[in-house]
C-alpha cells in the first residue's frame, strides 16, 4: 500500500491539516476500548465532504487504508487504524446546518456532538433523544448504530436518521434518504450505512429527526426484593404500553457502589430507574400505573420525583455508574460487556452472567437498558496482564450465553475489533457471506476501516 | 433463458403446485396497478422456504426470471412478471409460527395477511399496527416498505420488523436480524431487504414487533375553514408531541363523495380525522389538546367519539374513500398518486396538485396521511385510452412537484414499474449506482423480479 504517495499528494490538499506528529498520531491510535493501539501513518482533519472525496479517490488509487475518527469514545476498537494508513478526524466538521421546527428535523455535519446539538436545540424547544451516555459525535453514533437509555421510547439512531451524505471508497459522494419521514423508493442505503462502522463509506452529514421537549418530565426509582421481580415488572409495563421514556436496571452490586459514590439515600437491592415524558397529568398517570405494576412484583419503595434537582441527581448517578464502580475498586481495570437478549430471557441471562462472574473470581456490577433487553456487566479486574485476560475470557463467556439465549453479541457498542469472532455465530454463514459480498461490491480494494467487523 | 428446462425440473419438485393453467397465469399477470399485464410462463405455489431455495437454485442455473406474488394488492406493478418466467405465489405459506407475549414479538410466514394476523392476535390482547388499508400479505408489505394510517405513531413496516428469512438469487437461505429489539452487529440486511421489492431476495418468514391493544381508543373529526388551517393544526399537534395514532386529511372533494357514499353527517370542507390510543384519561386529554389546537387554526366542529360504533363508522368511511369516489363518477377509471413531502411543504404540494388537476380537466379527490406528509390524489378519468393517458400525465406532473418540494416519488406504494423513471431524479446518479452495484453483487444474473425498481 503506497501510503507515502497518498500522504505526499494529500499534503497539497490539506496543508497543516495533515499531521505526522507523534502525539497526534498517538491520540488517534485508540478509542476507549482495551484493544491494542496501532498508530496511523498520518492524521487528516478535513473540513468539507468535497475534501474527503478527493482524499478517498487518492487512497483508493493507492490502496491506502482510511479509518474514520470522531470523539474517540468507541468501546470496541472501531477507530484504531489496525492497518495503519490515514486516520480521518471529522471533528472539524461540526456545523449544525439546519433546524426545521415545522418538520421536526435538522441537518448536522458528522463531527457535531450529541451535547453540542442538544445545547443548540434548546432555544428551539427541541431535543435529539438518542443518548449513549458519552458525548460522542453524531457521525460516530450513526457508524456504530448507537442507542442508549432513551431507546425504549424514541428508538435507536437507526430510527432517527432520515438521510445521510457519505463518501464511498472511490471518492463518490452519495446522498441517501432525504427530508421526508418515510419513502418507499429504492434500497434503504441510509440503514445500510448506519452500523457499517466506516467499512462501506465515510458519513459526513446527517439529516435527523427531532422532538419537542416534553411539557413535563418525571423520574422514579424503585427497589425490589428480587431481580426476577424487577424484570417481570418491566415486562408487564411494556405489555401495558406505558410509554416510558427510560427504564434502567441496576443490580445490588451496582447500587452499593453508586450509593457510596453518588450519596444516594437508597438500598443496595435490585432497582429500577424510570423516566416519564408527557403532559403533567400524563406523567403522573404513567408513574401511578408503573407503581401499581412494580408493587405487584415485589417493588418496595416506588419514589416519584418531578423536581429537576431530584431527577438530575438520580440520572447523574446512573450516568456515573461506571465511575462509581471504578472508585470502589481502586487499582482495578474496568471492562464493559454489551449483550442483548429477548426480554423474556433477560433474568436468566443476568443470572448466568453473575454465575460466570463468581466462577471467574472477578468482581462485577450489572446495569441494563432493560426495556430493550440490553445489559452491561461492568467487570472489575486486577490491573495486570492476567487480570485483563481473565476479564476478556469472562466477557467471551457472557456473550456466548446471550447468543445461546437468542440474543446478539452487541446491543449498542458495535463489532469493531472485539466482537468479530461472534459474527459467524450470531448471523450464520449465509448472512455473513451476504455482508461480505456487499462490502466487496462497494469497497473492492478494502481500504475503508480494514480489520473491523469481519475476521480476515 | 431456459424457462422450459426450469419448468420441467420444477415439476418434479412441486407436482400439481406448478400450474400452466391459463386462468391461473392470468390472475398472476397483474396486481391492482393500471400497468399492462404480462403472463408468467408458470405459477408455482411453494409451501416451505426449502422448496423456494431449490427452485431458485434451478432458476439461477437456467437464468429464469422469478417474480414473487402475495395478495396481489400492489399498486405499482411489482407482481407483474414483465420478463415472463415463474410467478412465485407465497399465499400457501400462511402459518403464524410464534407469538411471544412477554417479548411483544411474533413470527409469521410471508403469505400471512394483515387481517389474518390481527384476528389471531386478538386473543393475546395484541395487535400489529401497520395498516395499508388492503388485506395484503406481511411479506408483500415488507417487500414494498408499506405503511398506512398508523405510521405516524407506530412507524412503517421498516420499524416493526426484527428479522427476516429470505432466499437469495442462487437459492441461499439467509436469516437476518433476530429476536432482539436492537443489535449493533453487522450490516442491516433486514432493512436492505425491506423495500427491495423482490429484487434482492424472496422474503419467506418475518419476525415482527407486536403491541398491546390499547386500553382505550378515541376518534375525532374536525372540519376547517381552509386547507392551510388544517395542515397548520397538524404541524402544531406533531410539535406538541401529542402521540396521536392516526391523523388523516380529506379535502372538500373527497368529503363530498364520502358524505354521499357513507351517509356522514358532516360538511364538505377540509377535514381532519383523528384516532387516539392510550388510557381512557390519556385519550380524553389527547383529544382535548388536539381540539384546542384545531380551534386555533380555524377548526369549526371538533367531534370526539369513544363509542365503537361511531368510531368504526368514521374510519370505515376513510377506508371507503376510494369506493366513494368511484361511485360518484360512474364510468370513470381511478388512479391513485402517492407522494410525500416534508410537512412544511404539504399545503403547497396539495395546492399545486389541485391546480394541475384543474388544468388537466380531470376530477380528483385528495386524502393524506398528513402526520407523515404523505398524500394521495385520487384521479378520476374517462375510461378511455385518452383518459388513462391524461391521468398518467397528471400523475407524472404531481410526482415532479413533490420532488421539487423536497419530497419522494412514493411514500408507501413503492417503485415497481410505475415510478422507475423518477429514481434518478429522487436519488441522484451516485445513490442509484450504489443500489445497482448491490443488486449486481447479490443477483448477478438478474433473475429476481427483473424490470422493477430500475429502468433498464
Q: Which residues of A touch B440 (CB under 8 A)?
A: 441
pLDDT above 60 for B107? yes
**CATH class of the region A3-89:** alpha beta
8 A C-beta contact, residue A150 and residue A245: yes
pLDDT above 70 for B52? yes
Q: Which residues of A touch B437 (CB under 8 A)?
A: 441-442
CATH match for A329-414 among 3.30.540.10, 3.40.50.920, 3.30.70.2740, 3.40.50.620: 3.30.70.2740
pLDDT tens digits, A103-141: 999 999 999 999 999 999 999 999 999 999 999 999 999
Q: Same topology for domains B216-322 and B332-412, yes or no?
A: yes
**CATH class of the region A96-212:** alpha beta
pLDDT tens digits, B210-231: 999 999 999 999 999 999 999 9
8 A C-beta contact, residue A142 and residue A193: yes
Q: Which of A174, A187, A434 sits opposite B168 (nearest CB)?
A: A434
Nearest residue in chain A measured CA to CA from B430: A174
Average pLDDT in the B398-407 region? 98
What ipTM was assigned to the predicted interfaces of this complex? 0.97
pLDDT tens digits, A385-444: 899 999 999 999 999 999 999 999 999 999 999 999 999 999 999 999 999 999 999 999
pLDDT at A64: 98
Burial of B102 per CB tally in 10 Å (0-12, 13-18, 19+): middle
Q: Which fold has domain A216-322?
A: Alpha-Beta Plaits (3.30.70)
pLDDT at B1: 52
* CA–CA distances in Å: residue A296 to residues A92, A232, A290, A292: 52, 10, 10, 7
β-sheet bridge partners, residue B42? B86
A to B CB pairs, distance under 8 Å: 285
8 A C-beta contact, residue B219 and residue B311: yes
DSSP notation for B95-114: -EEEEETTTTEEEEETT-BH
Is A433 within 8 Å of B240 when comparing Cβ atoms?
A: no
For residues B168 and A309, the model is more confident at B168
Give the C-alpha separation, A95 to A107, whole Å. 9
Residue of A149, A182, A278 to mutate when probing chain B, most B C-beta within 10 A = A182
**Helix (H, G, I), strand (E, B), or coil: what is residue B203?**
strand
Bridge pairing between strands B86-89 and B66-69: parallel
Task: Give the sign of the dihedral formed by CA A347, CA A348, CA A353, CA A356.
Answer: positive
| Domain locations in chain A as residue ranges | 3-89, 96-212, 216-322, 329-414
CATH number 3.30.360.10 given to B332-412? no
Is A406 within 8 Å of B344 when comparing Cβ atoms?
A: no
- Average pLDDT of the residues of chain A: 96
Q: Which residues of B touch A428 (CB under 8 A)?
A: 174-175
> How many residues are given for chain B?
456
- Average pLDDT of the residues of chain B: 96
Q: Which residues of A touch B409 (CB under 8 A)?
A: 185
Nearest CA-CA distance, residue B448 and chain A, Å: 14
Amino acid at each position: 500500500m503506497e501510503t507515502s504517495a497518498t500522504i505526499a499528494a494529500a499534503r497539497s490538499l490539506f496543508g497543516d491539516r495533515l499531521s505526522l506528529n507523534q502525539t497526534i498520531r498517538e491520540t488517534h491510535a485508540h478509542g476507549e476500548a482495551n484493544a491494542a493501539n496501532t498508530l496511523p501513518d498520518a492524521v487528516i482533519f478535513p473540513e468539507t465532504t468535497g475534501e474527503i472525496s478527493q482524499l478517498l479517490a487518492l487512497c483508493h488509487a493507492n490502496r491506502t487504508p482510511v479509518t474514520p475518527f470522531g470523539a474517540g469514545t468507541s468501546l470496541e476498537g472501531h477507530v484504531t487504524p489496525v492497518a495503519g494508513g490515514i486516520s480521518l478526524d471529522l471533528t472539524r466538521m461540526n456545523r449544525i446546518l439546519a433546524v426545521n421546527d415545522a418538520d421536526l428535523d435538522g441537518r448536522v455535519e458528522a463531527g457535531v456532538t450529541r451535547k453540542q446539538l442538544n445545547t443548540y436545540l434548546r432555544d428551539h424547544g427541541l431535543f435529539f433523544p438518542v443518548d449513549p451516555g458519552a458525548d460522542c459525535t453524531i457521525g460516530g453514533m450513526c457508524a456504530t448504530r448507537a442507542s442508549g437509555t432513551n431507546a425504549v421510547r424514541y428508538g435507536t439512531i437507526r430510527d432517527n436518521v432520515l438521510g445521510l451524505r457519505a463518501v464511498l471508497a472511490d471518492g463518490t459522494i452519495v446522498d441517501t434518504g432525504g427530508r421526508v419521514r418515510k419513502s418507499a423508493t429504492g434500497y434503504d442505503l441510509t440503514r445500510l450505512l448506519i452500523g457499517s462502522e466506516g467499512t462501506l463509506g465515510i458519513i459526513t452529514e446527517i439529516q435527523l429527526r427531532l422532538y419537542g421537549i416534553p411539557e413535563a418530565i418525571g423520574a422514579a426509582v424503585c427497589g425490589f426484593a428480587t431481580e426476577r421481580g424487577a424484570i417481570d415488572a418491566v415486562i408487564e409495563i411494556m405489555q401495558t404500553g406505558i410509554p416510558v421514556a427510560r427504564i434502567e436496571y441496576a443490580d445490588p452490586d451496582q447500587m452499593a457502589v453508586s450509593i457510596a459514590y453518588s450519596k444516594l439515600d437508597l438500598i443496595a437491592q435490585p432497582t429500577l430507574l424510570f423516566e416519564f415524558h408527557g403532559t403533567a397529568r400524563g406523567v403522573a398517570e404513567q408513574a401511578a400505573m408503573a407503581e401499581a405494576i412494580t408493587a405487584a412484583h415485589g417493588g418496595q419503595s416506588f419514589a416519584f420525583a418531578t423536581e429537576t434537582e431530584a431527577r438530575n441527581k438520580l440520572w447523574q448517578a446512573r450516568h456515573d455508574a461506571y465511575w462509581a464502580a471504578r472508585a470502589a475498586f481502586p487499582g482495578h481495570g474496568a471492562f464493559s460487556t454489551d449483550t442483548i437478549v429477548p426480554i423474556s430471557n433477560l433474568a436468566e441471562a443476568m443470572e448466568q452472567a453473575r454465575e460466570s462472574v463468581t466462577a471467574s473470581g472477578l468482581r462485577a456490577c450489572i446495569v441494563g437498558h432493560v426495556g430493550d433487553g440490553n445489559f452491561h456487566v461492568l467487570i472489575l479486574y486486577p490491573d495486570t496482564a492476567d487480570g485483563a485476560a481473565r476479564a476478556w475470557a469472562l466477557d467471551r463467556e457472557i456473550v456466548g450465553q446471550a447468543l445461546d439465549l437468542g440474543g446478539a453479541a452487541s446491543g449498542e457498542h458495535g463489532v469493531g475489533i472485539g466482537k468479530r469472532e461472534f459474527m459467524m455465530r450470531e448471523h450464520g454463514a449465509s448472512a455473513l457471506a451476504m455482508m461480505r459480498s456487499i462490502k466487496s461490491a462497494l469497497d473492492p480494494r478494502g481500504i475503508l476501516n480494514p480489520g473491523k467487523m469481519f475476521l480476515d
